[in-house]
Structure 1
Amino acid sequence: MQLLAVPMASSGGGGITLLLPLILIVGMIWFMSRTQRKQRDRQAKTVAALTPGSKVITTSGMVGIVEETDDEYVTLEISDGVLIQVVKAAIGRVIPEEDTTDEVTAAPATADAQPTADGQSAGDQAEAEKVDVPDTARDQAAAKADGKVRDAPKLPPTHTEN
């Protein structure tokens, strides 16, 4: 019996198959570091733009108004007369100023308001459309007035029973 050594066929391109995972890993690390760099730049711009009177939220969730800024620290007023000093890096975000002039859009009711087809004035209709609160007492009274017994609306359970 004679054994012959036969050379195995080479798969070809062995170097590329080893380099591909390495290239993918390096690409992922580069992408993640780029994203973190953008976040750091955005945070630095936010901290640099702090001015007294700005309303901010710290990274720990405290809300305050900027009273004074230093090189390293920011003094916040968290309540009337209560001042705290935090590191600038602890400022999470600045709350934009709210514009309250747009919120007042309802027209004032006038004495000579014309009633609509159903007998309500336009102001009464606007109030009726805004408020949508179920009145269980009124519903129960209407059910009894008809002479028919109806089920009253039930509220969901507030706790679990064992």
Structure 2
Amino acid sequence: MLRDQIKAQQILAMKAGDKDRTAALRSIKAKIKDRDIELRTKGPVADDDAMVIETLQKMAKQRRESITMFEDGGRTELADQEKSELAVIEEFLPQQLSDAETIAAIEAIKAELGAASIKDMGRVMAELKSRHGAELDMSKASALVKESFA
């Protein structure tokens, strides 16, 4: 399980004295725990790894946005800190699809659904997320889907 891998990596980082990595892993575990508490009232989670991956994807997206804002604001030291946290988060995410693979998946889904216009974008995005949600940055995928209809 992904949760166990994160815990094991945290222990290794603590033993190695890597304070930055330990802090990043603690942050990940805290966010997962918050998500557990949030979902507690909704019943048992069907797939724990899927929930952990979804949480990690949200964290990665937040870090990317923060990096952009810090770099635009000239705060390179904060951007560097966010980049190091992002690197730790990405270690636990599944390999992301390349742009070419994403475009191929979009075209396959469009052909299956018979999607011909921008009006079908919602259906294409829903199917793309259900099939490849863990392997895609959905904001990039959305832009590629929009381009494919242009």
**Do these two structures clear the TM 0.5 threshold for a shared fold by scoring above it?**
no
Which structure exhibits the higher relative contact order, with contacts defined as CA atoms closer than 8 Å and separated by 6 or more residues?
2
The structure with more radius of gyration: 1
TM class, shorter-length: under 0.3
TM-score of the pair, normalised by structure 1 = 0.21
Higher strand share: 1
TM-score of the pair, normalised by structure 2 = 0.23
Higher helix share: 2
